Chain A
Amino acid sequence: MLDGLNLEVPRGQIVSLLGPSGCGKSTLLRVVAGLTPAKHGTVSVHGEDVSQARSRLAFVFQEAALLPWRTVWQNVRLPFEIRNQKSQQTIESALKHCLEIVGFQPNDWHKKPSQLSGGMKMRASIARALITDPEILLLDEPFAALDDMLRSRLNDLLLRIVAESHRTMLFVTHNIGEAVYLSQSIAIMSRGRIAELVEVPFAYPRSSELRSTPEFAAFYGRVSEALYRSER
């Protein structure tokens, strides 16, 4: 499905993979994560093969993928339980820190996923991804099922996380506005290839006012045209 594809993501940058459904953007993200093996070619993280660097990656799924029998706290703690690396005290402070970053109040920590809204579930999912302090965050259309208001809030949350921690982020989306708002560059994908790599000219920090500027609208139009061109 993917063919002749070459993409370099500089450290600390947000790069979006933008394209219509079925263009291979989620497959590319899964290959990068090592969840889908590539028949040919390599994926490397700072020069190291991805299979050796998996612990430095974290994946945020399209659905929050929280375990329904666990509370938010227990869900976010799960990677620690599996890796079994750190002391109880370190775990507890890391959990509190991550849940605070994503905006969870302490009285929501012990709720189960069925008691949370869609936005809260996604926040918990992001907290779980952050808990192991990954260098690279891979996000597969995490906000696709959320309404615009919530999506915009969570976009700001992601920008804040990246600004504070200088993480690298590979973000899959089919939403042009989201790709433009979040990323430093946008890889426009079509039929398993990267059709065009577009640099986004807006400086960080970005705020939601940017979305209503004529420059944003003009650049949105350019990306939209490029997307349309790639499909012809």
Chain B
Amino acid sequence: MAKLDSDRNASAPGAKFAVIVAPIAVFLIVALIWHALVVLFKIPAVILPKPLDVLISMWTQRWELLRASWVTLQAALLGLGASALIGSVIAVLFSQSRWIRTAFYPYVIFLQTVPIVAIAPLLMIWSGPGLRAVVLVSCIISIFPIISNVTSGLLSIDQNHLDLFRMQEASRWQTLVKLRIPSAIPGLVLGLRVSCGLAVIGAIVGELFVSSSGAYDGLGMVMMAKQANLKIADLMGTILASTCLGILLFLAVQFLGSVVLRRWTKDAGFEST
């Protein structure tokens, strides 16, 4: 038994190490193959720069990228917040009536399937080329997972819990507030995990359209500028920066989500009355 425990303890840090090292190893291998292909086939930098050049360009334009990332992050967070709020309200409405669900669900699917790139120019026209339009695109693109997961959480309630509330003759409102909404918190966290990456994508897509007006300077605008000047290494560096931004937001939401869920079900409560 003691041996088994010690084996397990020994392997735990190893497993954690592998989680970090394995993706880095893959990245290095891909970068090496990329570098080799560029050198071997003499691909011009204007078509495909070497990976090191991309990293160097990221470093040289770091302040510009950080500033643009901050602008995009703000838009993505606002978009994600709006989709969490509006999506949750829609989900609550869906949970209260089969009729509402049946009548409106196809339009929620429409939000999921509509090519956002196609309607983004329309949104620019309607809401003006600024932060509002970018947040709107980010919200539209990230709202579906919230509606879907929160609705599912509100509706898939343990039958015993529902019976418990019926036995106490709870009102519809009490059942919603004291049972359905708390039961949907894990669904909301799950929805946010899926939506946060989409919110960043939405913000950048929105910025691509807003950028032409010069009223906005997020990562999308930086991308458009680099593309126009055929600065491919800079463009790829910006793309990498936007990917990093998505990953960072995902990790942050993942961390906050796990903290919330742990407190929700595991930790001891605080109030006594």
Using a CB–CB distance below 8 Å, which chain A residues touch chain B? 30, 33, 35, 54-55, 57-59, 61-63, 65, 67-71, 73-74, 78-79, 81-83, 88, 91-92, 109-115
Contact = CB atoms under 8 A, between A and B. Distances in A.
Contacts, number: 72
Interface string B149-181: 000000000101101111111100010001100
Interface of B: 158, 160-161, 163-170, 174, 178-179, 182, 185, 264-273
A67 B178 CA distance: 10
B268 A82 contact: no
A145 to B, nearest CB: 13
A114 B169 contact: no
Nearest to B267: A112
B272 A82 contact: no
B273 A70 contact: no
A10 B217 CA distance: 79
A59 B165 CA distance: 11
Contact of A69 (B165, B166, B167, B264): B264
A125 to B, nearest CB: 9
14 contacts: A33-B163, A35-B166, A54-B169, A55-B169, A59-B167, A61-B163, A65-B160, A65-B163, A67-B161, A78-B164, A82-B174, A112-B265, A114-B266, A115-B266
A124 to B, nearest CB: 13
B168 A67 contact: no
Contact of B164 (A65, A68, A110, A111): A65
Contacts of A74: 269, 271
B167 A58 contact: yes
Given A69-B265, A112-B269, 4 more contacts: A55-B169, A68-B265, A78-B164, A82-B168
Contacts of A62: 160
A73 B269 CA distance: 9
A57 B265 contact: no
A63 B160 contact: yes
A109 to B, nearest CB: 7
